[in-house]
C-alpha cells in the first residue's frame, strides 16, 4: 500500500483521486493548499499529485520542496491550463508527469500504477553511492536530482554528459560514476580537450605508429586504447576540434579506430563520460559542434548546480577543506569563526567549489599555527566584497528599499533651523535630522532607521506569506541575513 498526497484546491478533483486511490488499496492525504500539503507530507509519502494554481502560490515553484519530503516522493504536476513552457519547467525540474485537466479516472489509475511500478523497480538511490570521504553529497533540490541520475547511470553502460559551470565538480561526479560502475576495477582515463594541441589531437586520442609524422620515433597507443574495458572521461568536450569530431563519433559508435600511420583498425571497449561548461546545445545549433555527436553524448545528461544554489553545503565543504589542508600540511586543526562563515554564505562564488577550496586553503596558510580562521585571513577580494555589501546594507541597501516601499514618518527631533550647520536648513525644515546634526539628534535618527527597518521586514514577511526563502529573495539578501533581521524584529 502506498501513501498518496493530493494538493488541489478543487474539491471535486480531490474527491475523485480519493475514490481512485481507495479503490486501488492506497492511503490518500488531501490538502487544499501548499502549506497544508507540506505539513501533511511530513508524515512521509510515495506520490504527490500537485496542482499548479493554488491559493497560496504556484505548485511549480514548490515542486522541489514536495520532492524532498520524507519518502522522497515522485511528483505529478496537474493543471487546468495546458502550457508548454510550464510543462517544460516541471519536467526539467524532475516531475514524473505533467497532466492537464479535465482528468478521467483511468488517467489517474494509469499514472499511479506506472509511478508506483517505477518506484518499486528503480535502481538504488544516491544514498547507496560510494564516494571519496573527501567529497560532500548535497541535500538541495538540484544536487539531489543530479545524484539520483548519477545513481541510475552507475547501474548502466550508457554514455553520460555532465553539464555545469567551471569549478562545480564535474570531474568529481565522473570519478564517482566510475567508482560505482561495473568498470571500477578497470582504468579511468581523463582527456582534457581544452589542453590538447590541435595538431596532435588525433595522435593523442587514437595513437600512432613509428614514423607516422616528424618526431614519432616510436609507436604509442592512444588514450582510447588506454581506456579499454574502463572509462574514458572527456573533459571540456565542447573544445574538441571540429575536424576531430567526426572521427571521434565513428570511434564512439563502432568502438574501433585507426591509429595515425596504421593500416589496420584496433578496438577499444570504453565507456564514455563527457563534460563541458559550455552551452553545447547552442553550439550544435550554430554549427560549431556536430549535432550527431551531441546526440551520442546525451545518453544521460546530468546538470550539476552551481555553488550559489547549494549554499546549504558551504559550511560542510569549508570545514572539510580546512581539515584536509591542515592534515596534509601538518598544521593544527582550525575552527571557522562566525564572521568568516557569514562571509562564505554571502559571497557569490563565481568559481564555485574550486574557488571555495582555494580560498579556504589560502586562509589556513595565513592563519599559520592559529586555531581559528578570522576575516583577516581571507583573500583580500572577499574582504572587499563583504565590506561593500555591509556598507550597502547600512546606507542604501535596506533603508533605500524601505523609503520606497514603507511609509514610516521620522520622529520629531526638536531641531531648530538656527542650530543646523550651513547647508542643513532644508533637512531641518522637513523634520529630518541632518547627518551633521549635534550628537543629541543622532538617537532619534537611529530610532527612525530601526522603525523603518522593522516596518520593511514585517511587510516583506507578510508579502512572502511567511516563507523565509521567498522573503530573503524579495529582500535581495541571504537567508542567514534574513533570519537575523527576523530575530531582531521579534518575528
Beta strand pairing call for 266-267 and 256-257: antiparallel
Q: Bigger pLDDT: 389 or 348?
A: 348
Calpha distance 189→144 (Å, rounded): 27
Q: Bigger pLDDT: 295 or 485?
A: 295
- Where in the chain are all domains bearing CATH 3.40.50.2300? 3-121
Strand partners of residue 3: 27
**DSSP secondary structure letter of residue 406:** -
pLDDT at residue 94 tops 70? yes
pLDDT at residue 298 tops 70? yes
State the average pLDDT over residues 433-449.
55
pLDDT at residue 72 tops 70? yes
The three grid cell numbers given for residue 247, joined into one nine-digit string:
572521427
Phi and psi (nearest 5°) for 337? -70, 160
Among the residue ranges 2-6, 257-261, 359-363, the one predicted with the least confidence is 257-261
Q: Under CATH, which number does the domain 3-121 receive?
A: 3.40.50.2300
At 83 the pLDDT is: 65
State the average pLDDT over residues 254-281.
91
Q: Confirm if 242 and 287 have CB atoms less than 8 A apart.
A: no
Q: What is the CATH T-level fold of the domain 309-378, as seen in this structure?
A: Helicase, Ruva Protein; domain 3 (1.10.8)
pLDDT at residue 183 tops 80? yes
Average pLDDT, the chain: 81
Q: Confirm if 360 and 325 have CB atoms less than 8 A apart.
A: yes
At 344 the pLDDT is: 93
The three grid cell numbers given for residue 282, joined into one nine-digit string:
547552442
Residues 6+ apart with CB under 8 A from 422: none
Q: What's the pLDDT band for 89 if we cut at 50, 70, 90? A: confident
At 414 the pLDDT is: 44
- Where in the chain are all domains bearing CATH 1.10.8.60? 309-378
At 118 the pLDDT is: 81
State the average pLDDT over residues 127-145.
63
- When computed from its CA atoms, the radius of gyration of the chain, rounded to whole angstroms, is 29
pLDDT at residue 432 tops 60? no
Q: What's the pLDDT band for 271 if we cut at 50, 70, 90? A: very high
The three grid cell numbers given for residue 194, joined into one nine-digit string:
581544452
Q: What's the pLDDT band for 313 if we cut at 50, 70, 90? A: confident
H-helix or E-strand containing 231?
Answer: strand 231-235
CATH class of 141-210+219-305: alpha beta
State the average pLDDT over residues 48-75.
86
Phi and psi (nearest 5°) for 220? -145, 135
Largest distance between two CA atoms of the chain: 99
- Where in the chain are all domains bearing CATH 3.40.50.300? 141-210+219-305
pLDDT at residue 327 tops 70? yes
Q: Confirm if 340 and 374 have CB atoms less than 8 A apart.
A: yes
pLDDT at residue 134 tops 60? no
pLDDT at residue 423 tops 60? no
Q: Residue 248 CA to chain centroid, in angstroms?
A: 31
State the average pLDDT over residues 186-203.
87
Q: Bigger pLDDT: 227 or 487?
A: 227
Distances (CA, A) of 153 to 147, 272, 289: 10, 11, 24
Q: Bigger pLDDT: 480 or 154?
A: 154
Residues constituting the chain = 491
At 163 the pLDDT is: 95
Task: Compute the CA torsion angle 398, 404, 406, 409 (nearest 10 deg).
Answer: 100
Q: In terms of Cα–Cα distance, which of 296, 300, 295, 292 is closest to 163? A: 300
Q: What's the pLDDT band for 289 if we cut at 50, 70, 90? A: very high
Q: What's the pLDDT band for 136 if we cut at 50, 70, 90? A: low
Calpha distance 401→422 (Å, rounded): 29
Q: Can you tell me which residue has the cell 594541441?
A: 197
At 30 the pLDDT is: 93
Amino acid at each position: 500500500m502506498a501513501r498518496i498526497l493530493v494538493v488541489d484546491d478543487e474539491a471535486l478533483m480531490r474527491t475523485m483521486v480519493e475514490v481512485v486511490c481507495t479503490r486501488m488499496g492506497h492511503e490518500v492525504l488531501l490538502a487544499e493548499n501548499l502549506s497544508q500539503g507540506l505539513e501533511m507530507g511530513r508524515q512521509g509519502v510515495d506520490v504527490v499529485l500537485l496542482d499548479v494554481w493554488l491559493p497560496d502560490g504556484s505548485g511549480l515553484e514548490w515542486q522541489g520542496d514536495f520532492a524532498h519530503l520524507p519518502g522522497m516522493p515522485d511528483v505529478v504536476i496537474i493543471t487546468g491550463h495546458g502550457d508548454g513552457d510550464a510543462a517544460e519547467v516541471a519536467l526539467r525540474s524532475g516531475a514524473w508527469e505533467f497532466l492537464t485537466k479535465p482528468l478521467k479516472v483511468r488517467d489517474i489509475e494509469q499514472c499511479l500504477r506506472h509511478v508506483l511500478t517505477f518506484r518499486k523497480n528503480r535502481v538504488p538511490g544516491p544514498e547507496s553511492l560510494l564516494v571519496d570521504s573527501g567529497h560532500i553529497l548535497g541535500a538541495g533540490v538540484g544536487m539531489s536530482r543530479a545524484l539520483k541520475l548519477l545513481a541510475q547511470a552507475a547501474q548502466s553502460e550508457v554514455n553520460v554528459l555532465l553539464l555545469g559551470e567551471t569549478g562545480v565538480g564535474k570531474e568529481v561526479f565522473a570519478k564517482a560514476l566510475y567508482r560505482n560502475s561495473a568498470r571500477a576495477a578497470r582504468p579511468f582515463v581523463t582527456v582534457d580537450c581544452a589542453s590538447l594541441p590541435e595538431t596532435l589531437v588525433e595522435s593523442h586520442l587514437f595513437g600512432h605508429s613509428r614514423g607516422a609524422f616528424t618526431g614519432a620515433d616510436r609507436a604509442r597507443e592512444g588514450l582510447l586504447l588506454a581506456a579499454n574495458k574502463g572509462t574514458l572521461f572527456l573533459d571540456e568536450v565542447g573544445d574538441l576540434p571540429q575536424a576531430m569530431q567526426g572521427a571521434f563519433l565513428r570511434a564512439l559508435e563502432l568502438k574501433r579506430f585507426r591509429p595515425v600511420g596504421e593500416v589496420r583498425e584496433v578496438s577499444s571497449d570504453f565507456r564514455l563520460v563527457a563534460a563541458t561548461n559550455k552551452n553545447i546545445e547552442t553550439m550544435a545549433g550554430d554549427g560549431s559542434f556536430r549535432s550527431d555527436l551531441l546526440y551520442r553524448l546525451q545518453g544521460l545528461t546530468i546538470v550539476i548546480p552551481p555553488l550559489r544554489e547549494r549554499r546549504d553545503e558551504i559550511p560542510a565543504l569549508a570545514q572539510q577543506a580546512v581539515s584536509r589542508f591542515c592534515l596534509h600540511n601538518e598544521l593544527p586543526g582550525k575552527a571557522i569563526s562566525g564572521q568568516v562563515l557569514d562571509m562564505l554564505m554571502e559571497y557569490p562564488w563565481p568559481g564555485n567549489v574550486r574557488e571555495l577550496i582555494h580560498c579556504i586553503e589560502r586562509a589556513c596558510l595565513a592563519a599559520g599555527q592559529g586555531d581559528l580562521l578570522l576575516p583577516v585571513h581571507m583573500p583580500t577580494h572577499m574582504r572587499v566584497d563583504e565590506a561593500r555589501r555591509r556598507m550597502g546594507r547600512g546606507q542604501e541597501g535596506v533603508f533605500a528599499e524601505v523609503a520606497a516601499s514603507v511609509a514610516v514618518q521620522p520622529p520629531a527631533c526638536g531641531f531648530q533651523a538656527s542650530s543646523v550647520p550651513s547647508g542643513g536648513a532644508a533637512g531641518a525644515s522637513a523634520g529630518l535630522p541632518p547627518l551633521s546634526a549635534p550628537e543629541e539628534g543622532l538617537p532619534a535618527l537611529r530610532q527612525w532607521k530601526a522603525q523603518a527597518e522593522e516596518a520593511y521586514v514585517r511587510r516583506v514577511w507578510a508579502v512572502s506569506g511567511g516563507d523565509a526563502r521567498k522573503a530573503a529573495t524579495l529582500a535581495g539578501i541571504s537567508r542567514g541575513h534574513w533570519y537575523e533581521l527576523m530575530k531582531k524584529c521579534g518575528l
